[in-house]
């Protein structure tokens, strides 16, 4: 396929903060953007050139979208496969419906990893209390029961310590299909952003070391504090995964690192990723520009890290009230910190409202400043 050059219209399915930052990168590069929101709150609409604010199952929206976009991509994975396939039958879409569908569902994702020899935690798929009881016997405890569909940021999960009644657990879990995974006593969590272009060329970013707060990403530390061998292995596995799925675009691959250095893939995200936000200020090419390049058939950009960096997630509990923003002066006063807000109207619970990239001469320096900023924001928050 020949390259889609600036001036063309890129259609983005989904209108959240990832779509917003994608639109901003595409606009800087000279592209026009069309956002299909799915009828959800859509901060991307403010920066997109055009928007379709209708549900993903709307035939009217589908016809409008494919008539106005030259090429399409996705902003998040929980989009009906039928919608992705319908778009793909009319205009090019990257990543493909098949690639996105694998990541939509833990059962498909885990089976894909196992089939392709990608290291992951031991697991069994269960669909009732009896199968759960059998899986517990095979895998043992502790273990983690996860819904097959629509789980993220720790939602749709329950840790089993041992001694639980499988029937009671299953009833409380509200049925459906689920995956029981062996609990991994990991040393740290890592992630790698990997991009693959139209010709199959792959580029990987430095691994990020991720810490979570209330099951939501809190900080990403780049470069991760791991050996060169572990970093290279993470890049290799992420590349192998992109090859196996015949991927086109950018993808986040999350890992558990065991105490002996072994890496297990936890999950993958077929899109830009929260742990890749540092690339906006600390890499030669941001993950969003890289997505534009890969989708449009352009050469991939350099993934070179320009500076050590800590990405600090700004969650809703840092807001004094739902519609009252924090005092951002401390971030602006730090001359090597960069504020990114997502334009969301209300800070509900621990909703992702923005992030700050703290760059500096060393990881230790960046961490110290990031922790001080976080403490100040939480103290003044709710």
The reply to whether 106 sits in an annotated binding site is yes
Burial class of 7 by CB neighbour count within 10 A (0 to 12, 13 to 18, 19+): exposed
The reply to whether 173 sits in an annotated binding site is no
Tokens of 154: 């720790």
The reply to whether 151 sits in an annotated binding site is yes
CB 22 within 8 A of CB 291: yes
d(CA 142, CA 182): 7
- Of 288, 293, 296, 248, residue with least CA distance to 272: 288
CB 166 within 8 A of CB 134: no
The reply to whether 184 sits in an annotated binding site is yes
d(CA 328, CA 333): 9
The reply to whether 349 sits in an annotated binding site is no
The reply to whether 146 sits in an annotated binding site is yes
Which DSSP state fits 297?
Answer: T
The reply to whether 155 sits in an annotated binding site is yes
The reply to whether 154 sits in an annotated binding site is yes
d(CA 270, CA 200): 16
Tokens of 228: 């060169």
The reply to whether 277 sits in an annotated binding site is no
Count of CB atoms situated within 10 Å of the CB of 346: 13
- Of 8, 74, 14, 20, residue with least CA distance to 47: 20
The reply to whether 374 sits in an annotated binding site is no
The reply to whether 152 sits in an annotated binding site is yes
Phi and psi at 51, nearest 5°, equal: -145, 150
CB 229 within 8 A of CB 261: yes
d(CA 20, CA 50): 12
Q: In this structure, is the dihedral angle defined by the CA atoms of residues 155, 134, 115 and 174, taken in order, positive or negative? A: negative
d(CA 290, CA 371): 29
Beta pairing, strands 123-126 & 143-147: unpaired
The reply to whether 267 sits in an annotated binding site is yes
- Kind and range of the H or E element at 113? helix 106-115
Annotated binding site: 106, 146, 151-157, 181-184, 189, 212, 266-267
Annotated binding site for ATP: 106, 146, 151-157, 181-184, 189, 212, 266-267
């Amino acid at each position: 396929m020949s390259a889609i050059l600036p001036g063309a219209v890129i259609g983005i399915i989904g209108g959240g903060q990832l779509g917003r930052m994608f639109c901003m990168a595409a606009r800087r590069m000279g592209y026009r953007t069309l956002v299909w929101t799915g009828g959800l709150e859509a901060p991307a609409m403010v920066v997109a050139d055009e928007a379709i604010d209708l549900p993903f199952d709307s035939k009217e929206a589908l016809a409008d979208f494919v008539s106005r976009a030259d090429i399409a991509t996705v902003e998040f994975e929980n989009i009906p496969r039928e919608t992705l396939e319908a778009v793909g039958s009319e205009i090019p879409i990257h990543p493909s419906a098949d690639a996105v569908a694998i990541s939509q569902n833990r059962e498909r994702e885990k089976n894909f990893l196992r089939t392709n020899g990608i290291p992951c935690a031991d697991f069994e798929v269960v669909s009732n209390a009896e199968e759960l009881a059998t899986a517990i016997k095979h895998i043992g405890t502790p273990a983690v029961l996860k819904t097959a569909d629509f789980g993220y940021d720790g939602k749709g999960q329950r840790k089993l310590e041992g001694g639980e009644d499988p029937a009671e657990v299953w009833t409380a879990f509200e049925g459906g299909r689920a995956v029981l995974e062996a609990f991994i006593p990991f040393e740290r969590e890592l992630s790698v952003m990997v991009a693959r272009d139209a010709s199959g060329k792959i580029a990987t970013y430095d691994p990020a070391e991720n810490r979570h707060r209330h099951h939501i990403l809190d900080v990403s530390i780049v470069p991760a504090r791991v050996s060169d061998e572990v970093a290279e292995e993470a890049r290799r596995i992420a590349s192998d995964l992109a090859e196996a799925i015949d991927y086109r675009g950018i993808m986040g691959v999350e890992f558990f690192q065991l105490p002996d250095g072994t890496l297990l893939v936890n999950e993958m995200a077929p899109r830009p990723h929260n742990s890749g936000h540092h690339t906006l200020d600390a890499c030669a090419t941001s993950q969003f520009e890289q997505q534009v390049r890969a989708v449009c058939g352009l050469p991939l950009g350099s993934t070179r890290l320009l500076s050590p960096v800590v990405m600090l997630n700004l969650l809703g509990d840092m807001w004094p009230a739902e519609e009252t923003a924090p005092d951002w002066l401390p971030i602006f006063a730090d001359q090597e910190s960069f504020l990114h807000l997502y334009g969301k109207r209300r800070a509900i619970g621990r909703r992702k409202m923005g992030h700050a990239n703290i760059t500096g001469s060393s990881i230790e320096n960046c961490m110290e400043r990031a922790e001080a900023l976080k403490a100040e924001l939480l103290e003044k928050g709710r």
